[in-house]
């Protein structure tokens, strides 16, 4: 059975289209299929979505990390999105013919190779030990807070590079967390299930009230399970948005989250202008739900299951019917 993995690297560069093209090419040159790219100048962030065999996705990820190390200087980076590194987040998502344990092993291999480039690595999700470390705790305070931590012990690159530890080794991780590359920061590498990364644009309410809406709907505030939410003002685009990650769209219906935001915004005299999905759409957003949520740039080509089926049909027709 053909193993298919999705990689969704997030880079701290959202203003240089040439960088995004180069990052996508790093995956394509490794034999992956690039499904989607996006960038935003206010977030100062770009996201590449690629699928392929575990080996090709690993090669693409390491090449993209090297590109980010070369081209991005975190000392000059300013954006509204939380971040700690040039290659800020690198999740591996098992899609077909590989389980979560296999995706975690892939994350460990990629983490070791990226650490040998000199980039400290934090593990999260199913790849961390203990399993389930979240991004919020790692990125609290951003690159600046990480850079200010005391530099004691040995660098992650030394621990991983000489084979005395690996990315699942708690001792290696303890030292890795005290280090930051002076220009590239650190990378969060993990394994997870398919999630929904999306932004709901709102109008007619002040930022303070948008923050109250975000606080009320996220899991930490007693809202929807698995929902992470922030209110962000994109000054360059004159847009106010609720930026969200929904970790389990099968357990929490995105349309219900959208309707809740819409209801609360209307109660404050504002309106929802539309929805932006970052990367691919999970099965839970049907064409009808996409219309109801006013998803921008929706097409069947944005449906993850359809793209995985197409990928498999071109390479392993016998596997295509059981994809995703």
Residue-range domains of the chain with CATH = 4-191 (3.30.990.10), 196-298 (3.30.70.670)
Mean pLDDT per segment of 10 residues, for the chain of length 324 residues?
Answer: 92 98 98 98 98 98 98 96 96 97 97 94 93 89 83 40 37 50 95 97 98 97 96 96 97 97 98 97 93 94 95 78 58
Task: Provide the pLDDT for residue 140.
Answer: 87
Task: Provide the pLDDT for residue 172.
Answer: 44
Distance CA 73, CA 53 (A): 31
Task: Provide the pLDDT for residue 153.
Answer: 41
Q: Kindly list the catalytic residues.
A: 81
Three-state SS sequence of the chain = CCCEEEECCEECCCCCHHHHHHHHHHHHHCCCEEEEEEEECCCCEEEEEEEECHHHHHHHHHHHHHHHHHHCCHHHCCCCCCCCECEEEEEEEEEECCCHHHHHHHHHHHHHHHHHCCCCEEEEECCCCCCCECHHHHHCCHHHHHHCCCCCCCCHHHHHHCCCCCCCCHHHHHHHCCCCECCCECEEEEECCCCEEEEEEEECCCHHHHHHHHHHHCHHHCCCCCEEEEEEEEHHHCEEEEEEEECCCCCCCHHHHHHHHHHHHHHCCCEEEEEEEECCECCCCCHHHHHHCCECCCCHHHEHHHHHHHHHHHHCHHHHHHCC
Distance CA 50, CA 307 (A): 11
Task: Provide the pLDDT for residue 111.
Answer: 96
Task: Provide the pLDDT for residue 157.
Answer: 34
């Amino acid at each position: 059975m053909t193993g298919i993995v999705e990689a969704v690297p997030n880079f701290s560069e959202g203003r240089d289209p040439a960088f995004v093209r180069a990052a996508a090419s790093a995956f394509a040159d490794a034999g992956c299929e690039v499904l989607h790219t996006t960038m935003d100048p206010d977030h100062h962030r770009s996201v590449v979505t690629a699928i392929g065999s575990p080996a090709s996705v690993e090669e693409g990820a390491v090449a993209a990390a090297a590109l980010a190390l070369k081209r991005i200087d975190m000392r000059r980076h300013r954006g509204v999105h939380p971040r700690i590194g040039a290659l800020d987040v690198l999740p591996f998502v098992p899609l077909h013919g590989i389980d979560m344990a296999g995706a975690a092993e892939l994350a460990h291999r990629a983490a070791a190779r990226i650490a040998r480039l000199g980039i400290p690595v934090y593990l999260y999700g199913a790849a961390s030990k203990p399993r389930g470390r979240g991004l919020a705790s790692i990125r609290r305070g951003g690159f600046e807070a990480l850079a200010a931590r005391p530099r004691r012990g040995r660098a992650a690159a030394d621990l991983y590079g000489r084979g005395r530890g690996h990315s699942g080794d708690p001792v290696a991780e303890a030292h890795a967390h005290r280090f930051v590359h002076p220009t590239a920061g650190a990378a969060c590498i993990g394994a997870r299930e398919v999630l929904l990364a999306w932004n709901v644009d709102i109008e007619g309410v002040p930022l303070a009230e948008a923050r109250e809406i975000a606080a009320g709907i996220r899991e930490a505030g007693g809202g929807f399970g698995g929902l992470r939410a922030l209110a962000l003002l994109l000054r360059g685009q004159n847009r106010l948005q609720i930026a969200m990650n929904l970790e389990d769209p099968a357990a929490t219906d995105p349309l219900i989250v959208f309707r809740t935001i819409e209801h609360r915004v209307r109660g404050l005299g504002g309106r929802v202008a539309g929805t932006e999905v970052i990367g691919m759409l999970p099965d839970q957003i049907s064409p009808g739900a996409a219309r109801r949520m006013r998803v921008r740039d929706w097409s069947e080509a944005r449906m993850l299951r359809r793209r995985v089926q197409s990928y498999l049909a071109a390479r392993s027709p016998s596997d295509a019917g059981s994809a995703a």
